[in-house]
Structure 1
Amino acid sequence: MPAALPTPTVVGKRLRMARLARELTQAQLGERLGLDDPNTAAPRISRYERGMHEPDLITLEKLAEALELPVAYFYTSSDLLAEVILVISRLPRKRQAEALAMLKAFADKL
């Protein structure tokens, strides 16, 4: 019987979703990281996505930059908070501050 595949981590699931949303292959994402050899780039990204390896912070920062996403998106276990992070990250700085103030005001009313 073959060995069971590892369960994808939160980082792995979000990485895969983000890569597919950008319509990139694993090799293409690897190239964006500076991994020139597609024979090693795609397997490396695959290992991250499947949870076999967890990227270190520097690598995750490079992945986030390549995918135009904030690093925090990859770390939150809540899908709802991940979406909030994405929405707020797309706003200009001033609008981010306004959105935060509105969220705080909303939370204070609970």
Structure 2
Amino acid sequence: MPAALPASSTLGRRLRAARLAKGWTQAQLGQRLLEPDDPDSSTAAPRISRYERGMHKPDLATIEKLAKLLDLPAAYFVASSDVVAEAILVISELSPRKQREALALLKRLASKAAK
């Protein structure tokens, strides 16, 4: 009987969802992640697969590259909860002025909750 696959990590689930939202395969995302002169393109799809399955965690520089490729904030991938991750996505879609307003509102909500 084959060994069970590891449970996907939160980062892996978010990465997979973002990749699929772009309509890309693991190989396509992996190719975009590699440096243009990288001779070892055969590791592209397996690398993304390992990240998505939680077998390996990408370093911060790689997370930042992935985020840029997927047009998402890097913080989304490392957020501590799904609610915080979703808030990051929503806020990142706003204009800078609206981001400041959203932050002020969140601060007001937090101060009321502390009382």
Displacement of 1:41 in angstroms is 1.0
- Match of residue 13 from structure 1: 13
- Match of residue 77 from structure 1: 80
Displacement of 1:35 in angstroms is 5.5
Question: Hey, what's the Cα distance between the residues in 1 that align with 2:51 and 2:26?
Answer: 10
TM-score between the two structures when normalised by the length of structure 2:
0.86
RMSD in angstroms over aligned alpha carbons?
Answer: 1.6
- For the pair 1:63 / 2:98, whether they are aligned, the reply is no
Q: Which runs of 5+ in 2 are unaligned?
A: none
Question: Hey, what's the Cα distance between the residues in 2 that align with 1:3 and 1:33?
Answer: 29
- For the pair 1:103 / 2:106, whether they are aligned, the reply is yes
How many residue pairs end up in the alignment? 110
TM-score between the two structures when normalised by the length of structure 1:
0.90
- Percent identity reads 65
Q: Work out whether residues 34 and 41 of structure 2, in 8 Å CA contact, stay in contact via their aligned partners in 1.
A: no
Q: Work out whether residues 22 and 67 of structure 1, in 8 Å CA contact, stay in contact via their aligned partners in 2.
A: yes
